Amino acid sequence: RVEFEQQTIQSGCPFCGVGCQIDYHVADGEILYADGADGPANQNRLCVKGRFGFDYQSSPERLTVPLIRRDDAPKEPHAKLDPANPYTHFREATWEEALDRAAGGLNEVLKRDGSQALAGFGSAKCSNEEAYLFQKLVRAGFGTNNVDHCTRLCHASSVAALMEAIGTGAVTAPFNAAKDAEVIIVIGANPTENHPVAATFIKNAVKRGKRLYVVDPRRQMLSRHATRHLQFKPGSDVALLNAMIHTIIEEQLYDRQYVAARTHGFEELVEKVRQFSPEEMEAVCGVPADVIREVARDYARSEASIIFWGMGISQHVHGTDNARCLIQLALITGQVGRPGTGLHPLRGQNNVQGASDAGLIPMVYPDYQSVAKQEIRDLFEDFWGTDLDPKAGLTVVEIINAIHEGQIKAMYVLGENPAMSDPDQHHAREALARLDHLVVQDIFLTETAYYADVILPATSYYEKWGTFTNTNRQVQIGEPVVAPPGQARPDWQTVQEIATRMDLDWTYQSPAEVFTEMAQVMPSLKNITWDRVVRERSVTYPCDAPDRPGNEILFAESFPTEDGRARIVPTDLLPPDELPDAAYPMVLTTGRLLEHWHTGAMTRRASVLEDIEPEPTVAMHPRQLRTLGVEAGDMVRVATRRGEIALKARRDRNVPEGMLFIPFCFEEAAANILTNPQLDPFGKIPEFKFCAARIEPA
Ligand code: SF4
């Protein structure tokens, strides 16, 4: 028997935005097991993904050499590639050949069709440094702001509402602030499944006597701990929330002093919510008026109330309006800026906060500095030494549409999987197949890589240095725990190789050097250095001094707006884009499962997680099963106006009658074949949480 020397290396978790720190126990270049480390976000806790989800790192399906598409390999929009046998479509190449081919194709389109024919999708799985370099490449090298990432499919509408109201898109308090709250509202989020460690802090707070209101069309595990679960009708968020605001104003429960000193627009809000009495909204949202009033009173009167929300709020055509309502609740009651209060959109991917901060967004440079403002553009043109595009770029779904319209001809996709994650999958895949040139950089041959001309093998989270910013604004260090397989390279190096082939004079030697550059143009990183993050492992931004911890709770005195006050923007009641009708009488909503992460590229190759949840299912209420005449486990067909999938029925009392829930991680029955690509006009986020559907026995 051979015994290997075992080592323990602390790093982070590659999955959700909670940002747990993990002790990885490693021997002979392999991760043996993982334990929760004492990070500020997790305090030794872990969920099933962090504890058991790491073995995708050593999957035999990892990309280990660059691949180039064979000249005769067709890009069929709806064909599938066997990841175990990619050589029907691709051949191996050296790094030099692959990089030359990748950059050559981008340069060719740039020269022929101009900057606006190019676009890039970065990823919230990338480190801050990788995200920063990628957006810099697109802006300085491609010459366009057509750069976006999965925040567009996640919290873009929350960020739009927060930026408009309080001048920043980040949370005002960490999720651990639940312990100091008297009242906790969790709305449009299912933390037990999607932010499991954050959910444990909420449950602990309830055990200590805090009152929890879970507000969601679906019931969930956290509902068992709640004072009340408000099961409102899908899509009626604004009706319910405006009725709460109506109650608070009508019953004079708002904080007059706070409203007068800290906000604009209250009078318009008073006028708007007059028509939203709980008694009238009861029929719209399905929550009894007396319950709406009870929760509104409790939220307003409590010493400290905090709101957590997720994609049940943001992924609607009225997602920005939904978030505006939540912000208004906090502003008119002064429930922000003190311990136990605040606004916390629970971030999805482990670095969606950091990737957004780093500028992977088409309308802003790093730290949300507008590309349209001359003085800001001057600053970045000076700093990067090149002219920059003055026009905001296209967002994720707009880029897909622009490919169909013939505007976008070439793309560089780093770590994203739009062939699985974008709404109306047939439309998205047809777009990818139409591109003249597609470069995909990833750790697996994803569904998107099938359409690539060049595939560049990347390193996974476990194989590289980088900083990652979690939902709490904690900038944390990710440290390599094992070596990358084969010829896989860190993303920052590959992006730099492409950049130098596009005439950018880049000579970065390390992620640390990139971080130092970022800190020069990102006020949020003031007093935070690479060495400090390595030393302390986690530093919260904003931070007042190099030797002081960052500020967890923000906006006690003022907001980062022009005059320091928040802006209230009243909202109207807008219906979902596609209402049920005789042909499609059900409401379909999509989301994640505890065991699987986003498009499943990582977790479906993690053996324990895949064993627990190995196949696609559609969840529905037991009475729905009976109406349909099927048992749990029987095959059914779900159809919308965009397509149809077949999968097994699942019995779930948490799903209300008339609704179906399908996770979007299963390629074999891809939920996004069904979803509606209509966008929220402000956040440009698609309506993943509501479309009309039909179900029948298969
Ligand atoms: Fe990872 Fe999130 Fe689970 Fe923590 S809660 S272990 S960050 S997936």
Euclidean distance between CA atoms 614 and 596, whole angstroms: 10
Res 252 pLDDT > 80: yes
Res 80 pLDDT > 60: yes
Res 5 pLDDT > 90: no
Q: State the pTM of this model.
A: 0.97
Cβ proximity of 68 and 91 under 8 Å: yes
Q: What's the CA-to-centroid distance between 41 and ligand 1, angstroms?
A: 10
In 3-state terms the chain splits into helix, strand, coil percentages (rounded to 5) of 40, 20, 40
Cβ proximity of 624 and 668 under 8 Å: no
**What pLDDT is recorded for position 4?**
63
CA dihedral 515, 517, 519, 521 (to 10 degrees): -140
Beta bridge partners of 369: 365
For 90, residues 6+ apart whose C-beta sits below 8 A from its C-beta are 67, 68, 69, 70, 73, 455
Euclidean distance between CA atoms 615 and 618, whole angstroms: 10
Q: What's the CA-to-centroid distance between 350 and ligand 1, angstroms?
A: 8
Which tokens go with 457? 């093998």
Among 366, 327, 325, CA closest to 343: 327
Burial of 290 (0-12, 13-18, 19+ CB in 10 A): exposed
Res 316 pLDDT > 70: yes
**What pLDDT is recorded for position 85?**
80
Go through 162-180 and write b for each residue having 16 or more CB atoms within 10 A of its CB, e for each that does not.
bbbbbbbbbbbbbbbbbeb
Closest Cα to atom 3 of ligand 1? 47
Q: What's the CA-to-centroid distance between 186 and ligand 1, angstroms?
A: 18
ipTM computed for the complex: 1.00
pLDDT tier, 3 (very low <50, low <70, confident <90, very high otherwise):
low
pLDDT digits (tens, 9 = 90+) for 81-128: 777 787 889 999 999 999 999 999 999 999 999 999 999 999 999 999
Res 213 pLDDT > 60: yes
For 164, residues 6+ apart whose C-beta sits below 8 A from its C-beta are 324, 567, 569, 682
To test ligand 1's pocket by mutation, which of 10, 11, 16 has the most ligand atoms within 8 angstroms of CB? Answer: 16
- C-alpha angle 501-126-430 in degrees, rounded to nearest 5: 75
Arithmetic mean of pLDDT, 436-457:
97
pLDDT digits (tens, 9 = 90+) for 498-543: 999 999 999 999 999 999 999 999 999 999 999 999 999 999 999 9
Q: What's the CA-to-centroid distance between 13 and ligand 1, angstroms?
A: 6
Ligand 1: which atom is nearest the Cα of residue 42? 4
pLDDT digits (tens, 9 = 90+) for 566-606: 999 999 999 999 999 999 999 999 999 999 999 999 999 99
Euclidean distance between CA atoms 620 and 693, whole angstroms: 13
As a residue count, the chain comes to: 698
Res 555 pLDDT > 80: yes
Q: Which residues line ligand 1 (CB under 6 A)?
A: 13, 15-16, 18-20, 42, 46-47, 49-50, 195-197
**What pLDDT is recorded for position 123?**
96
Which tokens go with 358? 């780093």
Cβ proximity of 63 and 443 under 8 Å: yes
pLDDT digits (tens, 9 = 90+) for 619-648: 999 999 999 999 999 999 999 999 999 999
The Cα-based distances of 201 to 90, 181, 230, 351, 665 in angstroms read 48, 12, 21, 21, 27
Res 29 pLDDT > 70: yes
Q: What's the CA-to-centroid distance between 86 and ligand 1, angstroms?
A: 32
Res 1 pLDDT > 70: no
Res 306 pLDDT > 80: yes
Res 190 pLDDT > 80: yes
Quote the mean pLDDT of the chain.
Answer: 97
**What pLDDT is recorded for position 83?**
72
Q: What's the CA-to-centroid distance between 51 and ligand 1, angstroms?
A: 8
Ligand 1: which atom is nearest the Cα of residue 13? 1
**What pLDDT is recorded for position 2?**
54
Q: Which amino acid is at 215?
A: V
Euclidean distance between CA atoms 438 and 426, whole angstroms: 18
To test ligand 1's pocket by mutation, which of 33, 38, 42 has the most ligand atoms within 8 angstroms of CB? Answer: 42
For 48, residues 6+ apart whose C-beta sits below 8 A from its C-beta are 196, 594, 595, 608, 609, 612
To test ligand 1's pocket by mutation, which of 10, 11, 13 has the most ligand atoms within 8 angstroms of CB? Answer: 13
pLDDT digits (tens, 9 = 90+) for 414-428: 999 999 999 999 999
Q: What's the CA-to-centroid distance between 289 and ligand 1, angstroms?
A: 37
